[in-house]
C-alpha cells in the first residue's frame, strides 16, 4: 500500500515545532556550559551523560508536548511518552546533547537535535542547533535545507564538485570491538578522499556535509537519535543518505 502524501502545511508546522524545541534545548546547553557538570558513564567506557543532557531533553519535550500533545516522543535519555508507535500519527526523536564528550571538554562541536517522522517512517523535518557555534541547521520534506547564522540565513546544497581536497567525516564507536572493525574498513572508506575529519558529533558532521565543509560522512553503531534530524537536512541539501538498516548498521552521507 502506498503511503498517503504528506502536506506541506504539516511539514512546515512540524519544522516550526522542531526549531522551537531544539532552540529550547540549546539554551539549556548554553547555560549549562557555564556551570559545574555532573558526569556519569552509560554503557561502554567513554559514553558520557551529564545532568545537562537530561535537563535539555526535558526542555525539548516540554515544547513538543505543549504544542503537539498527541504525538509520541522518544529520546536518548528519557522513556518514550505519548501514544505507542502503532497509534501515533507522528513520532519525535530527540538527541538533547549530541557531542557530550565535546561539551564536557569545552570543544564547541555539540548540539541539540530534534527530528520527526510520520507513522509510515518517513522523516519529515529536522532541526540541529549548535549554540557554541551559533549555527542552526533545519529542513523539512520538500522545503530545502537551511543554515541560520548571526549574519543571515542561506540555503545548503552540499559540497561543491571541484578538484582539490576531499574530506571524509568519520566517527568511532565506544565499543573496542566495533572500533577494530572500523579501523579495518577505514582504507576502503577513504577511497576517493584526500583526508578525514572527526568532529565528535555525528549530527554536526552530517550537517557539515550539507553545508559543504565535508564531502562525505560515514559511521556505524549510531542510534536513531544521532542522525534523525541531521539526515533530513542532508537529504534536503541534495545528498544521498543511507540510514542504518537491518542489513547494515552504517550511516553514509555523500554527494549523489
Please report, for the chain, the start and end positions of each structural domain, with discontinuous segments joined by +.
Answer: 8-155, 167-255
| Highest mean pLDDT out of 37-46, 139-148, 186-195 | 139-148
pLDDT tens-digit readout, 18-56: 999 999 999 999 998 777 788 877 766 677 788 999 999
Q: Is 45 annotated as a binding residue?
A: no
| Helix H or strand E segment including 111 | strand 111-118
Evaluate if residue 203 carries a pLDDT over 80: yes
User: In the predicted model, what is the mean pLDDT of residues 139-150?
Assistant: 97
Q: For residue 253, which of 222, 192, 209, 201 has the smallest C-alpha distance?
A: 209
97 is in an annotated binding site: yes
16 is in an annotated binding site: no
Position 43 scores a pLDDT of 66
Please report the pLDDT score of residue 124 as a whole number.
97
pLDDT of residue 86: 61
Backbone φ/ψ region at 212: left (φ over 0), alpha (ψ -120 to 50), beta: left
167-255: CATH number: 3.40.190.80
Q: How high is the pLDDT of residue 85?
A: 61
Q: What is the model's pLDDT at position 45?
A: 67
Radius of gyration of the chain (CA): 17
Q: Is 70 annotated as a binding residue?
A: no
Give tens-digit pLDDT for 88-137: 789 999 999 999 999 999 999 999 999 999 999 999 999 999 999 999 99
**What is the third-level CATH fold of 8-155?**
Fructose-1,6-Bisphosphatase; Chain A, domain 1 (3.30.540)
Residue 194: CB atoms within 10 Å: 11
76 is in an annotated binding site: yes
Amino acid at each position: 500500500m502506498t503511503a498517503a502524501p504528506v502536506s506541506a502545511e504539516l511539514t512546515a508546522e512540524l519544522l516550526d515545532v522542531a526549531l522551537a524545541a531544539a532552540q529550547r534545548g540549546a539554551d539549556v546547553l548554553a547555560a549549562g556550559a557555564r556551570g559545574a557538570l555532573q558526569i556519569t558513564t552509560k554503557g561502554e567506557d567513554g559514553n558520557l551523560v551529564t545532568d545537562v543532557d537530561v535537563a535539555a531533553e526535558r526542555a525539548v519535550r516540554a515544547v513538543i508536548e505543549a504544542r503537539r500533545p498527541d504525538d509520541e516522543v522518544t529520546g536518548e535519555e528519557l522513556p518514550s511518552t505519548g501514544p505507542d508507535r502503532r497509534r501515533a500519527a507522528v513520532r519525535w526523536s530527540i538527541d538533547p546533547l549530541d557531542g557530550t564528550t565535546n561539551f564536557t571538554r569545552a570543544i564547541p562541536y555539540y548540539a541539540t537535535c530534534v527530528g520527526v517522522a510520520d507513522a509510515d517512517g518517513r522523516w519529515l523535518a529536522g532541526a540541529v542547533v549548535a549554540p557554541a557555534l551559533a549555527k542552526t541547521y533545519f529542513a523539512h520534506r520538500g522545503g530545502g535545507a537551511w543554515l541560520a547564522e548571526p549574519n543571515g540565513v542561506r540555503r545548503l546544497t552540499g559540497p561543491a564538485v571541484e578538484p582539490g581536497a576531499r574530506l571524509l567525516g568519520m566517527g568511532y564507536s565506544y565499543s573496542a570491538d566495533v572500533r577494530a572493525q572500523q579501523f579495518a574498513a577505514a582504507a576502503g572508506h577513504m577511497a576517493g578522499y584526500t583526508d578525514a575529519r572527526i568532529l565528535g558529533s555525528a549530527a554536526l558532521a552530517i550537517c557539515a556535509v550539507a553545508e559543504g565543509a565535508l564531502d562525505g560522512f560515514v559511521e556505524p553503531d549510531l542510534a536513531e537519535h544521532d542522525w534523525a534530524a541531521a539526515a533530513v537536512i542532508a537529504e534536503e541539501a541534495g545528498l544521498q543518505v543511507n540510514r542504518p538498516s537491518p542489513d547494515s548498521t552504517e550511516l553514509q552521507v555523500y554527494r549523489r
